[in-house]
Structure 1
Amino acid sequence: MTTDLRNRIARAMAKAAGSKAFREPGTEWNHLRSVWLGHADAALAAIQDQFVPPPPGSTEEQMPDDILALIDPPPYLSTACETAQLLEQAVAEHPERQAGLGEWARRMHARCRTNNKYTGRLCDCGHHGETADA
């Protein structure tokens, strides 16, 4: 959950209820603001599971095998690994920034979901050991 989302929900709830908590300046409104933020926390907790994507490697959203047998999905490169490759190219263009760019590239590869959530195809970037063609 982001703080921005929490604040936006609290402000929207307060506005809908006609509260001045976020419209008026001054510390005298802090208690009421914290009440609305608490309401936003409760609302977010109630719907949290609807916003959590399946974990990497999950087959929850994968198409059934009989459907997959009918298609030939292209090689899969995750968005994280695609970004990592762009960072690795930037290292060649900006060698003075190698340390920072290299660290970001490692972070991106670590964030790879490894397999396509719809087809199950493994990421083809080569940083994960086994690839789709292995």
Structure 2
Amino acid sequence: MVWGPLGAGWLTGKYRRGQEVPSGSRLGDDSNRGLEALSRRGTDRTWRIVDTLVTVADEHGLTPVQAALAWVVDRPGITAALIGARTADQLRDSLTAADLHLDPAAAKLLDEVSAPPTPDYPYAFIDELSTRTD
């Protein structure tokens, strides 16, 4: 079960690189709010994910919310996504994704752009040991 499948609003498409944060949104009310704070999540990696998600959504005639939820619930091991709509329109948009599935190429693209970086330790150390010749 996935809690926060829209990344505290980041995967809704309302936050865009180089644009003002919309008023009335979580970050529009307080850009340093909690874990979703612009100063914490407004990284190049996050913007690449958002940009890719918006492109995938546009190419499939979906909203970013629908594309994000379709991708999340199609991931292996996921049986449910807990959505946190604040308005009826947000709820309707989210529920529309219940029967949606992205094509394999789009899912792969989102997998790749959102893959977490591999931590240096112990993985770099293991790699170093496995390639040693002495």
Same fold (TM over 0.5): no
TM-score band by shorter chain is under 0.3
Larger RCO of the pair (alpha carbons < 8 Å, separation 6+)? 2
Q: TM-score, normalised by structure 2?
A: 0.20
Structure showing greater radius of gyration is 1
